[in-house]
Amino acid sequence: MGYSKVVGAIEIGTSKVAILIGEISNDGSLNIIGHYTGLAKGVKKGVIVDLEAASASVHASILRAENEANVKISEVYLAQTGMHLKGIFNVGTANVSSSDGLISKSDIERAKEDAKRPRLPEGRVFINHIQNPFSIDGVKTENPLHKKGRRLKVGYWAIHADSKILQDSLRVIRGVPLDVEDVILSSIASSNVLLHENEKKAGALVVDIGGGTTDFALYRDGFIVYTGVIPVGGDHISNDLSMGLRTSVEVADKLKLREGLALEVKKDPKAYVWLVGNQIIGDREIPLISVSKIVESRLKEIFEIIVEELTELKLFNKKEIASGVVLTGGTSKIIGIEHLVARVMDLECRLGSCHWDISEDLNVPEYTTALGLLSYAVANNEGSQSKGGSIINFLRGFLDR
């Protein structure tokens, strides 16, 4: 007899709460039956600063999504972002135990456990352990089982969070009340539906520019080797435009997306544009170049910070990022952004699009992370894990503590 599970994919961002509701059947098929984007409150740079306000906005958004889909969510997959997230790379080692040198399951498990051994300072907790390739006596291999060797190694990129900040996110969802099945880094979730396996193998950099933060994930040889979060996002551009043009943040935000980087400025530096765009009383003309300069300056800052961070870690090897840069997040809708990124980073750049066959109203940057969360829900329902990384489901024990 068939069954289905109703799961919610929830991203609580600085400016929005994005929710997708998916129905997963026992054969692993996914049907997206509801969606809603609401205004986030009580959140700054991806971190909840007002628990009561955040809870109210998230609960209202969940209720609206459930009512429109006419279902009740049974479990939640929750995205996580913010500067409190950090990552460490650790390599685990195991000496092959059998006399014939054949690697067993126990050898593999010992190497994995060794890779996850680092202890964190008080107040920190691991949320994701992302497996990288194995190696046998220094030679990479995807599956070491029953292969011959003396020394087995495996690497993990492990992401950890501030336990109090994480608890606040979980409390918001549990207050509905709903169970959180897993927490997944925003950039990893987005990458899962934006990149094909061959792109991960060739190397790619996914950059998710949200309202208050920018998340990024670097793939090499098919595996995540680094993730990062920087405290600059789309609201910084809107604030700068607001001050520079002496207008409200709301008007500046719409102008930012409407005119973007205004590539036509190069053709006509004296071009003008209407501030609001409706040309009625109170609207006014402003130099297009003023908009373009402010937007370009802020965007360049974001991508220069990413380049600098990866360069310091010796990870910015353009030959190993052959698939280039893939952009998502609401700010990726700025006109001409991919051309600026290609120039700043000297890499091919494209706007991200979910590789699933879904409707146009869902295949938009606002829902990319939530779509990625649903991909993990499907994988967990099948009892499998995506190649991008295994997710450690620690939440129930953590909440009990």
Task: For 300-368, list the strands marked E by DSSP.
Answer: 325-328, 349-351
CA distance linking residue 398 with residue 123, whole number of Å: 12
Q: What is the mean pLDDT of residues 302-323?
A: 96
User: Which of residues 292 and 65 earns the better pLDDT score?
Assistant: 65
- Whether residue 177 is preceded by a cis peptide bond, meaning omega within 30 degrees of 0, is yes
Q: What is the mean pLDDT of residues 320-325?
A: 97
Query: What is the reported pLDDT for 335?
Result: 86
287 beta partners = 272
Is the pLDDT at 286 greater than 90? The verdict is no
Please give the share of the chain, as a percent, with pLDDT higher than 90: 76
Residues 6+ apart with CB under 8 A from 88: 118, 157, 158, 160
Extract the tokens encoding 22: 């998916």
Helical packing angle, 163-174 and 51-69, nearest 10°: 40
Query: What is the reported pLDDT for 1?
Result: 46
Token pair 């765009």 is found at 277
Is the pLDDT at 386 greater than 80? The verdict is no
Instruction: Classify 196-354 by CATH class.
Output: alpha beta
Closest CA to 7 of 22, 27, 20: 22
CA distance linking residue 37 with residue 190, whole number of Å: 17
User: Which of residues 219 and 261 earns the better pLDDT score?
Assistant: 219
Query: What is the reported pLDDT for 61?
Result: 97
Backbone torsions φ then ψ of 96, nearest 5 degrees: -65, 125
Q: How far is CA 164 from CA 76, 120, 174, 240, 275, in A?
A: 19, 14, 15, 32, 42
- Domain map of the chain by residue range? 86-162, 196-354
Q: What is the mean pLDDT of residues 286-311?
A: 92
Local structure of residue 3 (DSSP, 8 states): -
CA distance linking residue 205 with residue 218, whole number of Å: 5
Predicted confidence band of residue 248 (pLDDT cuts 50, 70, 90): confident
Helical packing angle, 249-259 and 288-312, nearest 10°: 80
Closest CA to 299 of 203, 367, 401, 207: 207
Instruction: Classify 86-162 by CATH class.
Output: alpha beta
Residues 6+ apart with CB under 8 A from 37: 16, 17, 18, 19, 61, 366, 367
Query: What is the reported pLDDT for 263?
Result: 56
Predicted confidence band of residue 390 (pLDDT cuts 50, 70, 90): very low
Is the pLDDT at 397 greater than 70? The verdict is no
Query: What is the reported pLDDT for 117?
Result: 86
4 beta partners = 25
Extract the tokens encoding 105: 């399951």
Task: For 40-150, list the strands marked E by DSSP.
Answer: 43-44, 47-48, 75-80, 86-95, 124-136, 139-141
CA distance linking residue 25 with residue 381, whole number of Å: 9
How distant is the alpha carbon of residue 89 from its chain centre? Answer: 19
**What's the predicted TM-score (pTM) here?**
0.89
Predicted confidence band of residue 268 (pLDDT cuts 50, 70, 90): low
Q: Which of 35-44, 181-190, 375-384 has the lowest mean pLDDT?
A: 375-384
Burial (CB count within 10 angstroms: exposed 0-12, middle 13-18, buried 19+), residue 171: middle
170-227 pLDDT, tens digit per residue, is: 999 999 999 999 999 999 999 999 999 999 999 999 999 999 999 999 999 999 999 9
Closest CA to 6 of 35, 40, 32, 44: 32
Task: For 334-397, list the strands marked E by DSSP.
Answer: 349-351
48 beta partners = 43
Extract the tokens encoding 333: 């809708």
Asked whether 78 and 119 are in contact (CB, 8 A), the reply is no
Please give the share of the chain, as a percent, with pLDDT higher than 70: 92
Residues 6+ apart with CB under 8 A from 362: 20, 32, 35, 354, 371
Token pair 């009383």 is found at 281
CA atoms within 13 A on the CB side of 169: 33
Token pair 């990479």 is found at 140
